[in-house]
A and B are shown apart, each in its own frame.
Chain A
Amino acid sequence: DAGVIQSPRHEVTEMGQEVTLRCKPISGHDYLFWYRQTMMRGLELLIYFNNNVPIDDSGMPEDRFSAKMPNASFSTLKIQPSEPRDSAVYFCASSEAGQLSYEQYFGPGTRLTVT
């Protein structure tokens, strides 16, 4: 299996621009998670989906952030408009249902820089 795939790996954009991060989970996994990692706040869960349905978005910082999962093999995290404080590494992770749902497999991340 190819593992969790994220694109782009690096994104540099100007403040005010729209940013879209993409994720392809591991085939057969029912859960998909979006995390943000910064030096100050560590790894934070933003939102997670179960069978393409958003279950908990309490970690989404504000209305500028939105996430979708139109099908089992694709999810997007969008920031509009972007701000410098959004600069971070964004990770997508996926896991199976049932007893193995604790075992989250992370993608390589997207390093976002907003200038």
Chain B
Amino acid sequence: GQQLNQSPQSMFIQEGEDVSMNCTSSSIFNTWLWYKQDPGEGPVLLIALYKAGELTSNGRLTAQFGITRKDSFLNISASIPSDVGIYFCAGRNFGNEKLTFGTGTRLTIIP
């Protein structure tokens, strides 16, 4: 099935650093979502975006809906150990309940 491309695939950062990751698609979406998956658990929704150009924050997390509707970005400020995990983007179109998931970005924090 179709997948969204996320970059980078993995990140190794030090605690306190800011993190940026993105997600791109060959087709447009009307809704972009960002999920985080901890080891041994299911994905948990972090942020949802509904309009092109929209910028939404959730605590230290900020996500943007790209103007072309073919991409989205997620930033994490001042990373902490519990930010470790895999971050997935997902796209969705109106009238369609299906989500298309990205390939994931694995975040590791170096002590």
- Are B97 and A107 neighbours in the complex by a CB distance under 8 Å? no
Give how many B residues have a beta carbon under 8 Å from the other chain's beta carbons: 20
Number of A interface residues in the complex (CB < 8 A): 25
Q: A42 with B101: in contact, given A59-B1, A102-B33, A102-B92 (CB under 8 Å)?
A: yes
B1-A45 in contact (CB<8A): yes
Which B residues are CB-close (under 8 A) to A109?
A: 40-42
Neighbouring A residues of B42 by C-beta, 8 Å: 4, 91, 93, 106-109
Q: Check A108 against B41 for contact (C-beta < 8 Å).
A: yes
A42/B98 in contact, CB under 8 A:
no
- Does B73 interact with chain A (Cβ within 8 Å)? no
Q: How many whole Å from A27's CB to the nearest CB in chain B?
A: 18
Q: Enumerate chain A residues within 8 angstroms of B92, measured Cβ to Cβ.
A: 102
Residues in chain B within 8 A of chain A (CB atoms)? 1, 3, 31, 33, 40-45, 48, 88, 92, 97-99, 101-104
Count of chain A to chain B residue pairs whose CB atoms are closer than 8 Å in the complex: 47
Closest 4 CB pairs of A and B: A106-B42, A43-B101, A106-B43, A91-B42
Note all chain B residues with C-beta closer than 8 A to A50.
Answer: 97
Binding site for B on A (CB under 8 A): 4, 31, 33, 41-45, 48, 50, 55-56, 59, 91, 93, 95, 101-109
- A42-B3 contact in complex given A48-B97, A101-B97, A104-B45, C-beta closer than 8 Å: yes
Bound Cα distance A91, B3 (Å)? 17
* 5 additional A-B residue pairs with CB within 8 Å, beyond A31-B97, A106-B42, A108-B41: A43-B101, A101-B97, A104-B45, A105-B45, A109-B40
Nearest chain A residue, comparing its CB with the CB of B42: A106
Question: Does B97 contact A55, Cβ atoms closer than 8 Å?
Answer: yes
Q: How far is the CB of A39 from chain B (nearest CB, A)?
A: 10
Q: Who on chain A is nearest to B1 by CB?
A: A44
